Amino acid sequence: MANIVKKSFEDLFIQAEKLRNSGNLLESIKILTKIFKKIPNNKAVSHSLANCYFQLNKLDLAEKYYLICLKNDPINLQTLNNLSLLYLRNKNFNNALTILHRSLEIKNDQENIVEKIGYCLIQIKLYLDANKFCEKYLKKFPNNSFLLEYYEKSCFRLGKNIEGLKTLQKQTGFIQFDEDEVKLI
């Protein structure tokens, strides 16, 4: 009997995923909700529900299901990164920053996550933290234009103008230094 029930839930989940992938999100949510009521700790179901709600721009519900996912699997990179995108979309930079740091701790070579952390630090106006963070990760990703921009901005905000100008020169090539004088070319 248990195998029959399990099999029928698997079939329902496959059907819900097909609906979700074809853009029929509301029908997918109906099926996924039925499954979730019977199997609330199923990571795949709660993640699919979160994704459906995210696509429908129902961000409160998406957050609810992403958090359920993380409760059941706290190191799931896909869930962490999706939740951080949700927070970024809502301009909730503090929560995004917390989630992004967790993601980076799990896998430290995610260049796009490093960019988003730099962005959050600048948006929150944590310029010293942004400066140190960007300086550290520019060693790993030296040509990342986002990190260079955030580093440059943090330098200027911290009064490190020469360093900021050197970073700007690296990006644009339009600045020349001659004995403590700066010339625009």
Average pLDDT, the chain: 90
pLDDT of residue 172: 73
φ, ψ of residue 39 to 5 degrees: the values are -130, 75
Predicted TM-score (pTM) of this structure: 0.84
pLDDT digits (tens, 9 = 90+) for 19-39: 999 999 999 999 999 999 999
Q: Which CATH architecture has domain 1-73?
A: Alpha Horseshoe (1.25)
pLDDT higher than 80, residue 3: no
- Residues 9 and 35: beta-carbon distance below 8 Å: yes
- Domain range annotation of the chain: 1-73
Report the first-to-last Cα separation within the chain, whole angstroms.
78
pLDDT above 90 coverage of the chain, percent: 77
CA dihedral (74, 103, 84, 72) in degrees, to 10, reads -10
**pLDDT interval class at 179 (50, 70, 90):** low
Indicate the residue type of 176: Q
pLDDT digits (tens, 9 = 90+) for 84-135: 999 999 999 999 999 999 999 999 999 999 999 999 999 999 999 999 999 9
